[in-house]
């Protein structure tokens, strides 16, 4: 299994817009081979003094941290699916605009080594 994780700061007022954006994107991710898409709205995300989720995404006072992940069968499937997603017209900013500042989103791909 391969996992791509994301952390972003979303304007709290945009919660429903974010949910709708994520719902639409999840359908497209799965069409391109994702096994599962999980989107989580932060409810207990403390500020750190050295590092933290809020610091990593430069969360503003009127924003909420979201944590998301997508599972794929393997890295090759992820690479192919993410590549297809980037060219899918349903994910264009005109069709499905991001209701948050994507420049402050952090992400990475991870090989699963323990799954229970």
* pLDDT at residue 16, as a whole number: 97
Q: Which band of pLDDT confidence, cut at 50, 70 and 90, is reported for residue 86?
A: confident
- Where is pLDDT greater, at 93 or 4? 4
Q: Pull the structure tokens for residue 19.
A: 């949910």
Say yes or no to pLDDT of 96 above 90.
Answer: no
Q: For residue 19, give the nearest of 76, 88, 99 by alpha carbon.
A: 99
Residue of 83, 5, 81 lying closest to 38 (CA atoms) = 5
pLDDT given at position 91:
86
Q: Quick one: what percent of the chain has pLDDT higher than 70?
A: 100
> What mean pLDDT do residues 15-22 have?
95
Region 55-66: mean pLDDT is: 97
**Domains of the chain (ranges plus CATH)?**
2-111 (3.30.70.100)
Sheet-wide strand order for 2-11? 36-41, 63-72, 2-11, 106-111
CB 91 within 8 A of CB 44: no
Neighbours of 5 (CB within 10 A): 14
Instruction: Give me the pLDDT at residue 62, please.
Output: 98
pTM, to two decimals: 0.91
SS3 32: coil
What confidence tens digit (pLDDT) does each residue in 37-51 have?
999 999 999 999 999
């Amino acid at each position: 299994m391969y996992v791509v994780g994301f952390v972003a700061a979303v304007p709290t007022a945009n919660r429903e817009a974010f949910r709708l954006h994520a719902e639409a994107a999840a359908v497209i991710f799965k069409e391109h081979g994702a096994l599962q898409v999980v989107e989580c709205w932060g409810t207990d995300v403390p500020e750190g003094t050295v590092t933290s989720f809020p610091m990593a995404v430069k969360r503003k006072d009127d924003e909420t941290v979201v944590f998301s992940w997508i599972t794929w069968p393997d890295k090759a499937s992820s690479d192919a699916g993410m590549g297809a997603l980037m060219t899918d017209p349903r994910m264009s900013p005109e069709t499905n605009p991001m209701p948050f500042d994507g420049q402050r989103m952090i992400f990475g791909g991870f090989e699963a080594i323990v799954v229970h």
